[in-house]
Structures are given as structure tokens and as C-alpha cells.
A and B are shown apart, each in its own frame.
Chain A
């Protein structure tokens, strides 16, 4: 379909499901609970309504996602976004890549890193620390993981401590999960066409 976006971008597209999302007016009490639908909050995205088909997983996934991406301590939020972006590039999840490239640019107050990555892919010109983070996150996203001891050493040489490296692993791995939902269950489409 011509409105499906095939190139990486920081402009967050709409998302159009390939399966029928749960209809709010047919949702079970368990689904409404997981969706956190209240009389004053009835706006739920098609993505979340799609995931509501597996409500037990949805209910535990959202807090886990938030903890890995936003809890305090460890690796910076911008660097977690870079790790998420690396995985999304491996899996070519255009939607996730857009969301997390945009967040990286916002948190870093700089578009240089994501401009480079979208223009040159793996050959982007990055700072030694960003390069080390990107390389491990990218390699870990392959099946099976292609992460190497040399890449782990590069992270330590770039000054990352164990807690930061664990956060890097978690955020890349988390997008192994997110990409397999977002990229498989729907299409990124131009705003307004979903």
C-alpha cells in the first residue's frame, strides 16, 4: 500500500493494525482494567487495543517497559533511547525507530546523532561512547546475538559502569520485544491515513 512508510524518519507516523483491534464496546472487564479505561479516559490507541487481545501480557508489559526506559539511576535516558533505536534499526521497525529517534533528539537537545544514523546506518560518525553503545545494542538485537567481548570492552573503555551496561542490555532487549509487536502486527503509515 502506497501510504506505508518504508524509510527511517524522526516524524512519528500513524500505525495501522493488520489485525482487528479489540473494540472498546466489546471489551471484557479484564481488558478494560488493563487498558485503564475510565469514564474520563476513553482514548486508547489502536496499538494498545490490538495488544488487549492478550490482556494478561499487556498488563505486565507496560510497567516493565516504563521501568526499563525511565527508572532513575544507571544509563541516561537519552542513551537508553539510542539503544532502543539500534535494535529498531536491526528489526527495521520504522515506527519504533521514529518514536525513539525523536525522543533521543529531544533528550539530547541535538539531532546530529539520529541524523547520522538515518543517513549512514551502521557507518554513522558517532562519539566513542555513542559508538560503543550503538554497536553492542545493534549486535545484541540479531538472532542469535552477535555481541562480542570486544564490544563489551569498548563500553568499559568508553567509561560505562556495570549498571549502565545492564541498562543498555535491557533497553536493546526490550526493543527485541516491542519491535516484534509493532512491526509485525501493523504498518507505519502517513499521518492521517491510519
Chain B
């Protein structure tokens, strides 16, 4: 725990809020939320039961989503967690995943990340037709959904910090 009463987590480290800052005290007021966000990150990125998606692939998708949210430093943090060089380039939103046989997965994840309102039942049916199990589809959605949340908390805190009088 820092002297402001909040643990060092991805959220506290990437939000540009330093110990002693006015916003550090605000975050300490929701220390339970910060801690549960860390626990959720562990569950999404490093679960014991991975299903079809390895920890390395999850880190690559997290980095990809961070970059789609304009958070390059968060992308770098997750890219550093990728041990498997063969999938490292999936962290780049410009790569379509075809080289790894993950074209359908990347296309689906990009839709959910960038414009979820336009994702339809047909997109899910496409994943099912590609042989992806329902459990693995839910796992993909949780990766995207958690990352959407975390990226927005970081973006919001950065904006708060930039505009503190």
C-alpha cells in the first residue's frame, strides 16, 4: 500500500496520479474499487482456467484494445506480458490476425472494442461456425468488456489530473 492508502495496480500506475496528488486521496476513497479492479484484471488476463485463450493471447488482445483506446503506454504494459513471439504482433490493431489463424477472433474483438452497438447475432454465429465454443465466446467478451472499463477509468483519471486547478 502507498502512503495514500491505495495499492499499486495497473489503474493507479497508468492514470498518472502520483502519491500525494489531490486525486490520490480521491482514489483512496474508493480503495475497494481499485482493489476489485485489480482482481478483475487478474481474472480476465491470467485466469487459472484459460479455455481456448492463453495468457499470452489475452495480453496481446489487451494491448490491442488499449491502443484502440489511444492508451499507448497501457498497450506497452500489456505487450510486455506477451511471452509467445508468434502472437506478439496481435497487439498491433493494424494486424488482422490471419497469420496466426485468428482473423475471425481479431475481427470480432475489434468490433466489440470499437463499436459494440454494431455487433450483431450474425457476428456471434460466425464465431460459432468457426468452431469457437460458447464458453470461449463469453471469455472473449469479458476480455473486451473489462478492458473497455479499465481503459475508460484510466482515460477519465488522466483527464481529471490534467485539468486539476
Contact = CB atoms under 8 A, between A and B. Distances in A.
A57 B145 CA distance: 11
Interface string B140-165: 01101110111111011101101101
A159 B70 CA distance: 29
Contact of A67 (B36, B43, B114, B159): B36
Q: Is the interface of B mostly helix, strand, loop or mixed?
A: helix
The secondary structure that dominates the A interface is helix
B116 A74 contact: no
A50 to B, nearest CB: 6
Contacts of B119: 183-184
A178 B40 CA distance: 13
A21 to B, nearest CB: 9
A19 B153 contact: no
B5 interface: no
Contacts of B114: 143
B43 A57 contact: yes
A143 B68 contact: yes
A180 B148 contact: yes
Contact of B156 (A20, A54, A90, A145): A145
B55 interface: no
Interface stretch (B22-30, B76-84, B95-103): B22-30
A165 B23 CA distance: 11
A98 interface: no
Nearest to B30: A166
Contacts of B124: 18-19, 184-185
A168 B26 CA distance: 13
Interface string B103-147: 000000000111111010100110010000011011101101110
Contact of B146 (A20, A67, A162, A177): A177
A61 interface: yes
Interface residues of B, number: 57
Interface in A33-54: 50-51, 53-54
Nearest to B117: A92
Contact of A173 (B49, B139, B149): B149
Given A56-B47, A144-B70, A180-B112, A71 B144 contact: no
Contacts of B153: 169-170, 173
Interface in A158-194: 162-163, 165-170, 172-174, 176-181, 183-185, 187
Nearest to A174: B149
B145 to A, nearest CB: 4
B39 interface: yes
Interface string A73-113: 11000000000000000111100000000000000000000
Nearest to A165: B160
Which 3 A/B pairs are nearest by Cβ-Cβ distance?
A: A169-B156, A173-B152, A144-B70
Interface of A: 18-20, 50-51, 53-57, 59-61, 63-64, 67-68, 71, 73-74, 90-93, 140-141, 143-145, 147-149, 152-153, 156, 162-163, 165-170, 172-174, 176-181, 183-185, 187
